Amino acid sequence: MHPNPAYRGPDDARNLDFARERGFGLLTLSGDDEPLASHIPFLISDDGKRLSAHIVRSNPIWKALQGGSAKALVAVSGPDGYISPDWYGTENQVPTWNYVAVHLRGVVRLLDQEALRDHLDDLSQRFEAHLAPKPVWHSSKMDQEVMARMMRTIAPIEVQIDSVQGTWKLNQNKTAEARLGAAAAIETSGIGVELHALAALMRDLPGSI
């Protein structure tokens, strides 16, 4: 993560809330011959100690976990965007990239297959809730034989979260005037993702930063 302490202010609770809200990240661990990575949707427990997800059995990570648990990193990215030095309104500035990222480190293991159905139901409920007033989809709408067949291709996993780190790089090292000027410009820059969300964070820095 970025070493500058100016960008490392939020506490574990704030970082976990961010990761929990995003619900999607990059699971990485060391394989025998090369690093392994998989993009996964996930849930984080209320106490922030467990991350639950699932992987396709054809994924090399599933094979790697056949031998037991492994150390893992889940990287969760947020809004990001290019910052032009012209936007600060001051001289002798250089380009940069603003972003939010949280790293969750711990031990990942396969769960018993019996845990899969409840995990899938919890996961769909979590994201279906954002689609209201659309009626909530749930797995009972599936033909149960089809559901069982599909479930045989995936496996539940769990990461015991040992450490939480976050980088919130939002021009905290600039004056408020320069930071807000960049926030105003970034919304129309078109370089990066979720630029309105990034600009909002730059205007209203999270309280613990």
The string of pLDDT tens digits covering residues 181-206 is: 999 998 888 777 688 899 999 999 88
**Per-residue buried b or exposed e for 102-129, using 16+ beta carbons within 10 Å of the residue's own CB:** bbbbbebebeeeebbeebbeebeeeeee
Rounded CA separation 73/103 (Å): 7
| Length, in residues, of the chain | 209
**Per-residue buried b or exposed e for 83-92, using 16+ beta carbons within 10 Å of the residue's own CB:** beeebbeeee
Tokens of 136: 């909530």
The string of pLDDT tens digits covering residues 81-111 is: 999 999 999 999 999 999 999 999 999 999 9
Q: Which pLDDT score is estimated for 59?
A: 96
CATH number 3.40.30.10 given to 5-113+153-199: no
The string of pLDDT tens digits covering residues 103-112 is: 999 999 999 9
Model confidence at 3, pLDDT cuts 50, 70, 90, reads confident
Q: Is the pLDDT of residue 209 over 90?
A: no
Model confidence at 208, pLDDT cuts 50, 70, 90, reads low
Domain residue ranges of the chain, discontinuous segments joined by +:
5-113+153-199
